[in-house]
Chain A
Amino acid sequence: MSPAVRRVLRLNPIACDAHGVCADLLPEMVTLDPWGYPVIAPGPVPAELAEHARRAVASCPTLALRLDRQARG
């Protein structure tokens, strides 16, 4: 993966079960709503958080969180 590629976090809300691991590992971009479900900051993942974002994605127990190439248009 080239460092120039901008990535965005995408959540599958059906798969998400509110474990909250993402908010623990990436508090800079993920907060939890009153019911424990993640609210993700919009926009691309800043380069300095890329490693943390990857770890949050890898740790999601329901595979609900993904890093995607930023959608064009």
Chain B
Amino acid sequence: MTAVRSSGTPDQLPPGQLPRLVAPGAPLGLQAHRGRYGPLPSWPAGPAQLIASVERAGLTGRGGAAFPTARKMRAVAGTAARTGRGRRRGGAVLIANGAESEPASGKDAMLLRQSPHLVLDGIALAAGAVGAADAYVCVDGTDPGLAGRLLAAVAEREQAGLPGPAIRVVVVPAGYVTSEESALVNFLNGGPALPLYVPPRPFERGVGGQATLVSNVETLAHIALIARYGPGWFAAVGTPAAPGSALVTVGGAVGRPGVYEIGLGLPASDLIELAGGPSAPLQAILAGGYLGGWVPLPAAAAVPVSPPGLRSAGASFGAGVLIALPAACCGLAETARVLRYLAGQSARQCGPCTFGLPAIADALAHLAWRGRDGGAADWLRSLLPLVDKRGACHLPDGAVALVGSALRVFAADLERHLRQGPCPDASRPAVLPVPGPPGARR
């Protein structure tokens, strides 16, 4: 985190100051949490007011899709109220999604470790707003002690008499697609943790057939702050198009890789400086994680790190992952390794993903490590539209977007590979972490 130490009063953190979500130092227990943020606010004017406040703040989901949070909350609240009539089951369920399946991301685990009560505040508030009596916190198994510590935090709140829904902590199976929202619903309904065909979307029919709000844990933590300090405070950092702050995980060739909280819209080069500056000359940044896109350096050094900023640069914000790629490194080889990993992460439910991703991974590997085959480049380009948007989840679309950005940003490298064969950098060790198979580094 940044070295800025909080000097805020218990009533309000200074609006422009970062970090907001995570205090420097040890994880905050309930008492320290109240000391930093003040008590859990109540909303006497009713749930609609909190949703309106979240809307005015302009909060968008921090799990990857950047969907307006208030719209999702309103949809769940609306369905919950409607299905209460007649024979259909009313009420709603809340899922706090902290199952971070992006291998390069660490921000949700960090937030849950450092500020569990801010997330639990957000769960209590959002559950109240949408009418959910039951909530689940979904985590992955990366940190084996996390679920136990979260349960202890939940018990601490019950003992203190804090209001909130019944909360269960659930460890979801490892895998890239297991944290997709319909996969969580599927898993909590007793099925496999694999994406479902939608519609119905979770907000229409989710856990136990009830309207289900699936929100990233960081999104819920922001709701806890908006409820306390208001939309104006929230938007005191960030840009009009992308208000507020966000947690980002910075990796690759930087001096201090890790999780940082930034005002959205910070230029990419400033973020790299915040993370200790380049540890080697850089050629590109992977933004948005493994379903994101490459942006070239220095050409895109000023690109705003925000969902709209990175979208207009041909990449995405995703769950806030940025990886700096050193110049002495082959972008095609890096992308080829990631594609092999993503192909292995397919749930193998949809044909175009099951067969298309391995074909794309093969073609890209061929270009990265063999080269001198213009036919392979044409074959690869022809495969991309055959996979794009043809699955039940966004894995195939994101993988295609990543490859498309690699073909643009590393076009000169591709030309060289086609003319002369693979560059010497193609045989260097991987910069982008790719979990398993055995022998690969995490």
Contact B391 A13 (CB under 8 A): yes
Residues of chain B within 8 A of A48, CB atoms compared = none
Q: Which residues of A in the span 1-30 have a Cβ within 8 Å of any Cβ on B?
A: 12-18
Complex: chain B residue closest to A37, CB-CB: B351
Complex: chain A residue closest to B386, CB-CB: A33
B390 at the interface (CB under 8 A from A): yes
Contact A33 B349 (CB under 8 A): no
Q: Which residues of B in the span 336-362 have a Cβ within 8 Å of any Cβ on A?
A: 349-356, 359
Contact A13 B386 (CB under 8 A): no
**Total contacts A-B at CB 8 Å:** 41
Q: Which secondary structure characterizes the binding site on chain A?
A: loop
Residues of chain B within 8 A of A16, CB atoms compared = 350-351
CA of A14 to CA of B349 in the docked complex: distance in angstroms?
5
Residues of chain A within 8 A of B352, CB atoms compared = 13, 33, 35, 37
Contact A39 B386 (CB under 8 A): yes
B392 at the interface (CB under 8 A from A): yes
Contact A37 B197 (CB under 8 A): no
Q: How many of B's residues come within 8 Å of A, CB to CB?
A: 16
Contact A14 B386 (CB under 8 A): no
Distance in angstroms from A3 CB to nearest chain B CB is 25
Residues of chain A within 8 A of B349, CB atoms compared = 13-14
Residues of chain B within 8 A of A46, CB atoms compared = none
Give the contact-size bracket for chain A. 10 to 19
Contact B392 A14 (CB under 8 A): yes
A36 at the interface (CB under 8 A from B): yes
CA of A39 to CA of B197 in the docked complex: distance in angstroms?
17
CA of A18 to CA of B359 in the docked complex: distance in angstroms?
17
CA of A39 to CA of B391 in the docked complex: distance in angstroms?
12
Q: Which residues of B in the span 364-390 have a Cβ within 8 Å of any Cβ on A?
A: 386, 390
Contact A13 B390 (CB under 8 A): yes
A73 at the interface (CB under 8 A from B): no
Complex: chain A residue closest to B356, CB-CB: A35
Residues of chain A within 8 A of B359, CB atoms compared = 34
Which of A14, A16, A39 has most B Cβ within 10 Å? A14
A13-B197 contact in complex given A18-B351, A36-B351, C-beta closer than 8 Å: yes
CA of A35 to CA of B351 in the docked complex: distance in angstroms?
7
Taking Cβ atoms with an 8 Å cutoff, the residues of B that contact A are 195-197, 349-356, 359, 386, 390-392
Known contacts A13-B352, A34-B359, A37-B390; can you find 16 more A-B pairs with CB under 8 A? A12-B392, A13-B197, A13-B349, A13-B350, A14-B196, A14-B197, A14-B350, A15-B197, A16-B350, A16-B351, A18-B351, A33-B351, A33-B386, A35-B352, A36-B351, A37-B352
